[in-house]
Structure 1
Amino acid sequence: MENFRFKALKGMDKDLYKALSMLEDICKKHDDVRLKLELDYKLAKKDAPDKSPEENKDEFTCWDGDKLVGYLGIDDFGGRTIEVNGMVHPEYRRRGIFKELYSLVKKEWEKRSSDSMLLLTDSKSSAGKSFIKTTDSLYDHTEYEMILSDSLFEKAKGASKGLMLREACNDDALEIARQNSIYFGEELSDQKLLNIEVEKKRGFHVYMALLEGIIVGKVHLHLINGEGGIFGLGIIPEYRGKGLGRELLLLSVEKLKEFHANHIYLQVDAENDTALGLYQSCGFKENYSMEYYKLKKER
């Protein structure tokens, strides 16, 4: 290995954020691909820290002097799986940097309670796919990022079915976890209950969906730097088939517009035809696709 310096850091700060943003722009322009680094979310976590163990490291960097030339980051959302995505400066590739970063990330993962690790790559990234082939990971799924077309959204509006949004509070944390277990197959016991106030400081706004005063679903809205994301949207099974999922999505878009979001997006499993159809009918269009490859720990 050349005279590169590798650093493992617990969290994001403004200097690292700036260096990573510059490197991301270089890689995106060179490769014409997207990355899912969650830099804004990670920077927001600095001002609203969670209770993760102090020894946990999430940011793995490689430096040539004062120049950031490689990065691999861990996203840990509190479940049994972590997500990993990164990049290497185009002029520094094929020099073992990503291999070394990946080795450091694997050692970190082995120390954690997470059972699985997902490696992410843009579906168009030949470099990303080539590296993943050198690991023991197996293809898991593909997600589309979809972006809102304002003109299509205006055409999608319809008569209200009476659904209302109520901002969540910490007393809703268990109900949110229960619904996550329904929508995403997450075991209730594996979930870390959300601290709603902390999430709000990080740019996440959680809303409960109510019909005649009864909680029938939920949605998580993320807003930062004018970009609005829709996550964790769902209607509980006994209230499905009534058009409430569509209304919840439309209300979520309206709420983000109230927050002055000028770009609204969401992510969906490429094989979820029902959700894809719903999102398309409300004015969302496919932007790019991200592939996920899974590693599981040997027990």
Structure 2
Amino acid sequence: MVAFNVIKKDQEYWLADQIKMNQSKEVYWAELKTLLAAWESNQVNYLSLLMDAEYEEQLLNEGFHKVSSVVEYTRTLEERFILDSSIFVRSLSDSLMTDEEFAKLYDECRSGSANKNNLFSIDQIMEAFLNELGPNWRNHCHIFYKAKEPLGISIPHIEDGTTEEGRLFYFGVTPEHRGKGFGKVLHLYSLELLKNMHATYYVGSTDENNEYMIRIFKANGCLLRDKKGIYRIDK
């Protein structure tokens, strides 16, 4: 049984996400112990874990500390979305923007975020694109414009190990355009991008304290699916 999706970056970090299945708590805990043993033997700097809060006491006893909690929202992607014709989108591979300019825009979009799990520098994030999205990662990175002004970015992809689950590696609005209704509009565009990638449903997550993103989820028809804790253990 594969109980966790794990992203590995050499000896720097492992990122593990519990896969929700009809399995007992004992089975999940046994799988986690196996994962922990492998992490320790590989001498990786740290392990970041997304897991049900019901395991929290056991995780703390194992040496983890709690970073925050995230909520997951989901919806199907069957309907036709009505989009704002005054806004257009370009992929990084289809734009005049350089990788360096995109990195700067990404950093601007994540500034002031309510998400507490900001583990990585912008250089590490740009490096992770190739590892997590593949050699065509620039095709996944999208920039939204109104006239010639960037409004925000979105990075849609199909969740690894699935053929139909749409996710956003990142979604953000530039600070100067927040609070003006663009978040809902750009998120809806992102759902359309996922449909074009043949996703049949969407799963989005954010920090439980990120009321701004939660309002966007709800405004675009997403329903609460799950809540998990974020835990971290260091070498």
Deviates further, 205-214 or 176-185: 176-185
TM-score between the two structures when normalised by the length of structure 1: 0.59
Q: CA deviation at 1:188?
A: 3.0
For 2:70, give the aligned amino acid: E
Equivalent residue, structure 2, for 1:245: 183
Q: Percent identity?
A: 17
For the pair shown, the structure with the greater C-alpha radius of gyration is: 1
Equivalent residue, structure 1, for 2:15: 83
Gaps of 5+ in 1: 1-22, 25-34, 38-73
TM-score between the two structures when normalised by the length of structure 2: 0.73
1:1-299 to structure 2, matched below 5 A, reads: 23-24=1-2, 36-37=4-5, 74-76=6-8, 82-85=14-17, 98-99=32-33, 101-110=35-44, 114=45, 116-123=46-53, 126=54, 128-148=55-75, 160=84, 162-169=86-93, 172-182=98-108, 183=110, 185=118, 186-193=120-127, 194-195=129-130, 199=134, 205-223=140-158, 224-297=162-235
Change (3 A) 1:234 1:192: closer
- Aligned 8 A contact 1:163 1:209 in 2: yes
Q: Deviation string for 1:18-51 (max 9, x for gaps)?
A: xxxxx24xxxxxxxxxx551xxxxxxxxxxxxxx
For 2:190, give the aligned amino acid: S
Alpha-carbon distance in 2 for matches of 1:119, 1:149: 27
Gaps of 5+ in 2: none
Q: Deviation string for 1:248-279 (max 9, x for gaps)?
A: 10111122223332111111111111110111
Give the match's secondary structure for 2:232: strand
Q: How many residues align?
A: 216
Bigger RCO of structures 1 and 2 (CA < 8 A, at least 6 apart) = 2
- Aligned 8 A contact 1:199 1:205 in 2: no
- Aligned 8 A contact 2:91 2:138 in 1: no
- Aligned 8 A contact 1:117 1:295 in 2: yes
- Aligned 8 A contact 2:93 2:138 in 1: no
